A = this chain, B = another copy of it.
């Protein structure tokens, strides 16, 4: 029974009260079933005004240390959790955050959504989803300008976060932006990502540790930063192991199954085909598996294939793919956090802060890798 992990607030998930309407007589010490602790109860118990409690809870204003301490203790005692609805209503913090995506069938969209929406609901923030498909640069600019007027922050998954047009427009509008899973740290917007370079390096090392040396690489879409980093990671690992990279073993792909098909076709048509293929994402890896099968090659006996991202595709195909897992859901949730913090800062008139949050990835070993076939 999973549930979604918690972030900023105590173990219990936030409640939106189900209390009886009248009957909140302020002296009764017993909790009415289902009724949440309110700020008033905390205030009363601590002998301060609700306002002071509010200040303490929001860590915001200037409260004397002693008072703060007292209130915090009371909060803990009563296990008080601010009512998200009330908060966002009162604060007029109307903090809406947009999550804009293109390519709606992007495989990790579901995870992205789970994470983002969970993070948003924890913070009582409204998440606005928007799809920008088939847009020209100009349309994107316009859309960016428009969205900038109606939300307080934006989360940009790839490939949108690579669009200079979109980013600059958003930055110009002065609203905080977080790029999620974008390959490289960009100078003007914050990012939550994994270390693509390191991950690709590890994957390559993994392959090498099985004894592979003719390791082919299918590159990702050239205009996505992550593609370059993954390639560099591959190169670095190969170099570190003293294995020269055969340039004919590196093919350009575009993250699509189709492009993977073509790249793998070229790779396996060679007189001396590779013993392993490292594709820059799972779709292309799946395509490589398919090509291998078409040529009567067994995976992993005759050839090992690995992917990247750990999307549903990785476990759909057979054999299931060894790949790199990005904790997309967690990353999405942190994005919301980050954004909210920026927004608050901005409201307080502080300077824009850009952070680069790198989270841990994980090499997931499944059934698509084996030692090279000596035959």
Identify the A interface with B (CB < 8 A).
1-4, 13-19, 21, 33-34, 36, 83-86, 88-89, 92-96, 105-107, 109-114, 117-118, 121, 124, 126-133, 135, 139, 143, 146, 149-150, 152, 256-258, 261, 283, 286-287, 290, 293-294, 296, 312-313, 315-318
Q: CB-CB < 8 A to A4: which residues of B?
A: 129, 131
Beyond the given A13-B129, A18-B152, A117-B127, could you list 6 further A-B residue pairs with CB under 8 A, ordered by the A residue number?
A13-B128, A17-B92, A105-B315, A107-B316, A110-B113, A114-B129
Q: CB-CB < 8 A to A114: which residues of B?
A: 113, 129
In the bound complex, do residue A85 and residue B96 qualify as a contact, i.e. CB atoms below 8 Å apart? no
In the bound complex, do residue A89 and residue B92 qualify as a contact, i.e. CB atoms below 8 Å apart? no
In the bound complex, do residue B16 and residue A95 qualify as a contact, i.e. CB atoms below 8 Å apart? yes
* Given A17-B94, A85-B88, A92-B19: A118 touches B110 (CB 8 Å cut-off): no
**Count of chain copies:** 2
Cα A106 to Cα B312 in complex, Å, equals: 8
Shortest Cβ distance from residue A39 to the other chain B in the assembled complex, whole angstroms? 13
Cα A368 to Cα B2 in complex, Å, equals: 38
Shortest Cβ distance from residue A180 to the other chain B in the assembled complex, whole angstroms? 15
Shortest Cβ distance from residue A343 to the other chain B in the assembled complex, whole angstroms? 11
In the bound complex, do residue B19 and residue A94 qualify as a contact, i.e. CB atoms below 8 Å apart? yes
Q: CB-CB < 8 A to A143: which residues of B?
A: 1
* Given A113-B117, A149-B33: A16 touches B88 (CB 8 Å cut-off): yes
Contact partner of A316 (CB less than 8 A), chosen from B105, B118, B124, is B105
The list of the 7 closest CB pairs from A to B, nearest first, reads A110-B110, A2-B131, A18-B94, A105-B312, A85-B89, A109-B110, A16-B94
In the bound complex, do residue A126 and residue B84 qualify as a contact, i.e. CB atoms below 8 Å apart? yes
Q: CB-CB < 8 A to A152: which residues of B?
A: 18
In the bound complex, do residue B312 and residue A3 qualify as a contact, i.e. CB atoms below 8 Å apart? no
Q: CB-CB < 8 A to A106: which residues of B?
A: 312
In the bound complex, do residue A18 and residue B92 qualify as a contact, i.e. CB atoms below 8 Å apart? yes
Q: CB-CB < 8 A to A286: which residues of B?
A: 316
Cα A133 to Cα B287 in complex, Å, equals: 28
Q: CB-CB < 8 A to A83: which residues of B?
A: 89
Cα A294 to Cα B299 in complex, Å, equals: 13
Contact partner of A3 (CB less than 8 A), chosen from B110, B129, B258, is B129
In the bound complex, do residue B94 and residue A15 qualify as a contact, i.e. CB atoms below 8 Å apart? yes
**Closest B residue to A101 using CB positions:** B2
Q: CB-CB < 8 A to A17: which residues of B?
A: 92, 94
Q: CB-CB < 8 A to A105: which residues of B?
A: 312, 315-316
Q: CB-CB < 8 A to A121: which residues of B?
A: 126-127
